[in-house]
Structure 1
Amino acid sequence: MTLAQLRAFLAAYELGSFTAAAKKLETSQASVSELISRLEHELEHSLFIRGGRQLIPTTAAVELQVHALQSVTSFDNGVEALKAMSSLEGGVCTFGVLRYGAHYDLADLVQRFHRRYPKVKVHLVGLNSVTVAESVASGEIEAGLIVLPVAEAGLQVRPLFRDEVFYVSATRNPSRGPITIEELAESKLVLYDAFAGWRDPTRRQILERARLKGLKIEPAIEVEHVDTALGLVAAGAADTFVPQAIVSGPGFPRNIHAVPFAEPLYDTIALVQREGAYLSPATRKMAQMAARTLLSKVAPGQDIRRATVK
């Protein structure tokens, strides 16, 4: 069975004659007739009742048509995808990044992408990892970078690296050493990502540790943005916890001290897409650029899987 046979069959099925099918396929009527005869011989089923001016599809033809159309369409889509991949002369890229992606050098990701592929439309969202995961799972966006763990099922997850999380404070003396979950439960905290709340992946890890000890973590203040939280920490109003990327960033307040957790805590950064979903060439390229940007900045010990994003 060949694609040429399936195309001839579909054209004849749609148009009702070998002559019309031949005209559509820009070939001869005899060629279309021969292709369909070979297909019938291979299938051991007649596909059309010949005679008169109109071809009449048999029951076998009706059954085959749906599957033949899927096969031909799938192949054509693959060819178009390969063409678009090499040129990226159009299309739309939908991608999600961490809310504080700028701390991972992702601030200029769109600018770099648009400079290379100016004809591609870009829809980039920067949200909490929970919301990014939900948007990918629902098909609202094609792929994104998130912090694990997330509860969304149906996602294909590719861990990239892990980033240690630190307790930060302007008032706690760092000479006291790492912070325990018991001390954290007694601390006055300002937590960011208020909308996501305890669904936030980093918070979920903290909450689970506290539950195992029979403790509660209750923030005194909740805000949406990490920079707002750090401003309050710098003012001595409360303490919080942030990943290494923020601690080592140029904008981190100088009067804030960072200490690790007694039981080290890590954010795992991952690339996600819907399970079994096909990524458009534009979004695939954006995912590759984002992953390479992240992996180029991390220390060897942080890297979980330095694999090429496919």
Structure 2
Amino acid sequence: MTITQIRAFTLAATLGSFTAAAEYMGLTQPTVSELVKKIEDAYSITLFVRGGRRLVLTTAGQTLLPWAKRLLDAELGADSALTALNTGEGGTVSFGILQNASYYFLSDLATVFHKSYPNVRVRLVGQNSFEVADAVRNGELEAGLLCLPIPADGLQILPLMRHEIVWASANPERCEKAMAITDIPKEPLILYDAHHGWNDPTRHQLAQLAQLHGVTLEPKMEVESVDAAVSLVASGLGDTIVPKAVAQSETFPSQVYTTRLEEPIYDTFALVQRSNWELSPMASHLADLAVKMLTSNDAGLGEVLHSRMKSPMAAAEA
């Protein structure tokens, strides 16, 4: 059965004739009659007693009618939900966000979006880049911001900008010149993102660089957040790597010094969505807003690689 067949049957049963149902649907009477007959033929049943001035439901027709109404209600509900999501009058948008969003001017993303679309529910999920990539790939999130590199299968990736990673130490002598990868093991190493370890994009780059130089890096301490790592460094327990944005933030400890890596590595931020998948209008608007906040407020801390084209909705509102 098709929705059109169900609609023809329901209207004929409700209005009492194929002619009335045809007028309501904008079809001819024979067309509506044929739509109903296709259901009858498919199940070898009769839905109406024909011949009188008004159609009368058979037992089979009475059995089908409540289910037909449920199907049409579901269709109407689905249509209303999607229309609301397209117009900003309802629905939910799910978006992956960088774990350290506050360092990248994204703390107010939900607030700014909510001011424009107060009736849209927003799920901003802060995760490691690998988790964001998996969630987008699996359809749990519509899109997200993350750091490269990540496995690219099933994803459309748009690099946006990059921030240099710097060395951080409470020992000023360690920061008098650029840090060589071969000199890193001379002090205890503290690293963040303990859960994902060397799979974390930033740590992965550091490990690759060390491997090229025949150096083995074994962290003395591993913690989950960059703030925790910096706090341990400030206590003199070891050195770490941090994004430049973190090092230049107002909360960065004054007793922690920084220097560049002799061979630079970068956090490269990218917008990801599923391959061959068009974002919903609200998700596209949220993505545009996130990219704008990330790249416009950077104040020279990073290098912009690409500014995402505005979605038709965002362009119309500009």
Q: TM-score, normalised by structure 2?
A: 0.75
1:23 aligned residue (4, 16, 21): 21
Moved over 3 A (4+): 12-22, 55-59, 77-85
Aligned to 2:304: 303
Unaligned ranges ≥5, structure 1: 1-8, 37-47, 60-76
Describe the shift of the 1:29–1:262 C-alpha distance in structure 2 as closer, same or farther (beyond 3 A): closer
Task: Give the share of equivalent positions with the same residue, in percent.
Answer: 36
TM-superposed deviation, 1:247: 1.0
Aligned to 1:164: 164
Aligned to 2:72: none
Aligned to 1:106: 106
Aligned to 2:177: 177
Structure with larger Rg? 2
Describe the shift of the 1:309–1:264 C-alpha distance in structure 2 as closer, same or farther (beyond 3 A): farther
TM-superposed deviation, 1:58: 10
The 3-state SS of whatever aligns with 1:173 is: helix
Measured against aligned partners, the alpha-carbon deviations of 1:215-236 in whole angstroms (never above 9, x if no partner) come to 2111000001111111111111
CA RMSD in angstroms comes to 3.2
Of 188-197 and 110-119, more deviation after overlay is shown by 110-119
Aligned to 2:215: 215
TM-superposed deviation, 1:244: 1.1
TM-superposed deviation, 1:265: 1.2
TM-superposed deviation, 1:189: 1.1
Measured against aligned partners, the alpha-carbon deviations of 1:12-69 in whole angstroms (never above 9, x if no partner) come to 5874799759727724553774xx9xxxxxxxxxxx9x69x8247999xxxxxxxxxx
TM-superposed deviation, 1:259: 0.6
Q: Is the 8 A contact 1:93 1:282 kept in 2?
A: yes
Q: How many residues align?
A: 270
TM-superposed deviation, 1:187: 3.1
Q: Is the 8 A contact 2:19 2:29 kept in 1?
A: no
Question: Hey, what's the Cα distance between the residues in 1 that align with 2:270 and 2:122?
Answer: 21
Q: Is the 8 A contact 2:82 2:91 kept in 1?
A: no
Aligned to 2:227: 227
Q: Write the mapping of 1:11-90 to structure 2, written as runs, cut at 5 A.
A: 11-12=4-5, 15=8, 20=18, 23=21, 26-30=24-28, 33=31, 54-55=37-38, 84-85=85-86, 87-90=87-90
The 3-state SS of whatever aligns with 1:262 is: coil
Unaligned ranges ≥5, structure 2: 43-77, 312-318
Question: Hey, what's the Cα distance between the residues in 1 that align with 2:301 and 2:221?
Answer: 36
Question: Hey, what's the Cα distance between the residues in 1 that align with 2:288 and 2:211?
Answer: 38
Q: TM-score, normalised by structure 1?
A: 0.76
TM-superposed deviation, 1:206: 0.6
